[in-house]
Each structure stands twice: as structure tokens, then as C-alpha cells.
Amino acid sequence: MQETGNPFEGPQTKHETQDGVFSAEEVRLANRNSGAMLEMLSLDITPVGGHYLLTHFDVPLIDASSHRLRFEGAFDNPFAMTMDEIRAAPAITRTVTMECAGNGRAGMSPRAYSMPWLYEAVGTAEWTGTPLAPLIEKAGPSNAVVDFSFEGADFGYDKGVPHFFGRSLTPDELEALDVLLVYEMNGQPLLPQHGAPLRIIVPGWYGMASVKWLDRITALTDRYTGFQQVQTYRFRQTSDEVGEPVTAIRVKSLMVPPGVPDWITRKRQLKSGLVRLEGRAWAGATPIDRVEIHIGGDWHTAELAKPLGKYAWRGWSFEWWAEPGHYKLACRATDAEDNVQPLEPEWNLSGFANNAVQQVEVFVTD
């Protein structure tokens, strides 16, 4: 489905889903928004260059020396901060696994016509910055405030609606979530594509909440109605439904593909004998309880590595005595609230939060 005509005039009538071959438009989005290489799942921390990217519009190139973060709207003491002032505030580093809400979208049928992620829109970084809550408190939200919006410097159109990328969090959500104002990733200044000079990180939630190129925080006495808050990131079955908002990351696990790949199909070949299968499991801020590996009809319990932190994925491994044959390996995680990954995707119109088990096709030779 290629779009024709003027996309800057709403409302748009394009179909929301597609089946079969990927269009040139989807491929172009995939080229801009790179994913993690699954072999990098063997690392606790994803290298900056190996972390997935999702940018809706263009990357704004911001001069850090003149950038100001503005606190505006219904604050008693609105102010603006320079990057030097933000860096001088108490700094902390958190290890956070971030996953795009659209990860797995291309595994649904029909799929949403959007960025066609399979499994790779996930990564874990050490994010350095300052906690947001004390700064909000300093700005003094008035008693009537019910929402805070976080808006980036990037502007564009979606479905004929012009907007800056923006998201919001209620006072209760802000209190419950350890939101950070972040300027470093893995000990290096943020790269432009990851939000330089300043972004937020909302640990435990899907990536859309972690607004990049943060420009202003507005205290609101009505709920925020920005496009990215209201018109997308909702679980819907039909386009006229309001739907529930997408928030916390669902339990999920991935496997480092074992052995060696075939270039195009990514099917794997390995030698028979002892094989160490490994991967990662995560569930937002909820601990991982169990990971099971499916081999030739049976589920086996994997060993869990030491947790890296409340908001980070957990390593798992399993020693497999591989006999010659053809297998579809799979891994399945269960979190501490007893949520377990489904075997098949739970379909929704935008293809959000697909946490169905991953399958890896393996040919074991003598």
C-alpha cells in the first residue's frame, strides 16, 4: 500500500493494516529505525551503536550550549534550565531496558502499516541524569494540575495532524515512576539520534514515554491531548475505539540465535553436542521468575543470571545436549506477577506490545 496524494491534510483515509510483502515505505522506515542485532543479547549492556532506534520525524540537531529546558504552564515558580545547570544537579545512573511498543508488530497478521519490527526493538543502557521529581517540585505545580506534558523539539505530521512529539504523565504516575532527565548513555554524551542533548527515561514503560530532545515540561489543569498520547499508543481492535493506553512493558524473552546463520533466512546451523543457549528476559519493573526453553516438544527450565537492576533485563542460559535434527527452539518467560508470554500474538490494530514467544529455527549436524 503506497500512499498517494497530500499527507498533510487530515483526516487521512489510509488503511491501517497490511498483509503479505512489505512496501517500500515500510522498508524505508526500517532503514531509518535500526534494531538490535540479536547476538548482542549476550551482553548485559547494549553498546550505544547497537541500541535500537525509533524516531518518528527527523532528528533535530540541537545546540547544547544554547538549549534550555522550560518548565511552564500551571507552575507557581516556572523556570528554565541550561544543560550546565542540569548537569550540576545530583546525578544518578540507572540500568534500564527499553523496548519499543511496536516491537513484534510485523509478527501480527494483518500487521499495522507502520515500522515493521520483528524482535529487535529492545536494548539496555546505563542512563545518567538527574531525577525529575525534585525539579517538578521546585517549579511548584498548582493544586489544580492533573497532567504534565513532555514535548520534544521534533515536529511533523501523522494522519494529517501536525504536532511536536509529546507525551504526558499524571502526578500519580510521576510519583510511582523513577523518571530521569538524561544526558548520558553508557557514560557518553547522548548521540543526536538518542535525544541529545536531553531526554527523559521512564523506566519500566514502553519506549514511547521516554521523550527525546526534551524541550518543555508543561503543568496542565486538563489532561494532555497530544497526538502521541491520545491518538496512538492505545490497544484498539477498531479505529473508532478509544482503547486502553499502552504503558508498562509486558513480560518477554529473547534468545541469542545459536550457531551460525544462513545470510538471507537467518536459519541456524550448529554441531551436535553440548550447546549453551542464552538470552535475556524482562518485564518492565516486575522481576522475572522463570524462563523455559522449548526443544522438540518439551519445556525445560533455564538458569537465571544475577539481576542487573530493577528495570533491567535478566540473563538466562540453558545447556542443551543437541542431537542431529531440525528444531524450532523457543523461549518463554514468566514474571513475578505470574504473567507468561503467549505462544501466539494477541492482535491489536496498531500491533503494540507483542510479547509472543520467539522461535529460532536450527539445523543440528553430526
Ligand X SMILES: Nc1nc2c(c(=O)[nH]1)N[C@H]1C(S)=C(S)[C@@H](COP(=O)(O)O)O[C@H]1N2
* Residue ranges binding ligand X (CB under 6 A): 51-56, 98, 100, 152, 154, 165, 194-195, 207-208, 210-213
Instruction: Let me know: does 194 contact 47? Beta carbons within 8 Å.
Output: no
Which residue stretches of the chain are H helix?
Answer: 24-32, 83-88, 133-139, 171-176, 227-230
The closest alpha carbon to 44, from 314, 277, 284, 304, belongs to 314
Sole binder of Mo ion in the list 41, 45, 54, 329 (CB under 5 A): 54
Nearer to ligand X, 148 or 327 (CB): 148
Partner touching 330 among Mo ion, ligand X, none, CB below 5 to 8 Å by kind: none
Residue showing cell 504526558: 168
Q: Supply the minimum distance, in Å, between the C-beta of residue 37 and ligand X.
A: 14
Widest CA span in the chain: 73
Nearer to ligand X, 251 or 302 (CB): 251
Q: Supply the minimum distance, in Å, between the C-beta of residue 144 and ligand X.
A: 27
Nearer to ligand X, 141 or 207 (CB): 207
Q: Supply the minimum distance, in Å, between the C-beta of residue 127 and ligand X.
A: 10
Nearer to Mo ion, 220 or 353 (CB): 353
Buried-state track 311-324, b at ≥16 Cβ within 10 A, e below 16: bbbbbbbbebebee
Q: What is the dihedral of CA 52, 56, 57, 59, to 10 degrees?
A: -20
Under the criterion CB under 5 A, does residue 353 sit at the interface with Mo ion? Answer: no
Interactions with Mo ion, residue window 271-300 (CB under 5 A): none
The closest alpha carbon to 256, from 33, 37, 35, belongs to 37
Nearer to ligand X, 174 or 302 (CB): 174
Q: Supply the minimum distance, in Å, between the C-beta of residue 97 and ligand X.
A: 11
SS3 56: coil
Nearer to ligand X, 54 or 174 (CB): 54
Partner touching 314 among ligand X, Mo ion, none, CB below 5 to 8 Å by kind: none
Partner touching 249 among ligand X, Mo ion, none, CB below 5 to 8 Å by kind: none
Nearer to ligand X, 245 or 273 (CB): 245
Under the criterion CB under 5 A, does residue 249 sit at the interface with Mo ion? Answer: no
Q: Supply the minimum distance, in Å, between the C-beta of residue 40 and ligand X.
A: 14
**Long-range CB contacts for residues 138-143, cutoff 8 Å, separation at least 24:** 138/77, 138/79, 139/71, 139/75, 139/76, 139/77, 139/78, 139/79, 139/217, 139/219, 140/75, 140/76, 140/77, 141/74, 141/75, 141/76, 141/171, 141/219, 142/74, 142/75, 142/76, 142/219, 142/221
Under the criterion CB under 5 A, does residue 100 sit at the interface with Mo ion? Answer: yes
Q: Supply the minimum distance, in Å, between the C-beta of residue 28 and ligand X.
A: 15
Q: Supply the minimum distance, in Å, between the C-beta of residue 295 and Mo ion.
A: 32
**Binding residues vs Mo ion (CB under 5 A):** 54, 100, 207-208
